Structure 1
Amino acid sequence: MRSLLLAALALIVMAGQQVHAQSRRDLDAVARRLAAEDRFAECPAHPEVARSSCRRSQQRFIATYARARMGDVTAQREVASQLATGSGPLRADGKEACAWRSIVLANQSGRRNPADQQGLDATCGALPRTEREEAEERARLLGRAIQLDAEARAGRR
Structure 2
Amino acid sequence: MGTNLGGGLLGPVFALAGWTGCVLLLIAFRRLRAGFRGDVHVRAFALGEDASEPLPARLANRNYMNLLELPVLFYVACLMAMMIGRGTPAMVGLAWLYVALRMAHSLVHVTYNHVMHRFAVFAVSNGVLVLMWVLLGLQVFGRAGA
What TM bracket, shorter-length normalisation? Answer: 0.3 to 0.5
Would you tell me which structure has more helix in proportion to its own residues?
Answer: 1
Q: TM-score, normalised by structure 2?
A: 0.34
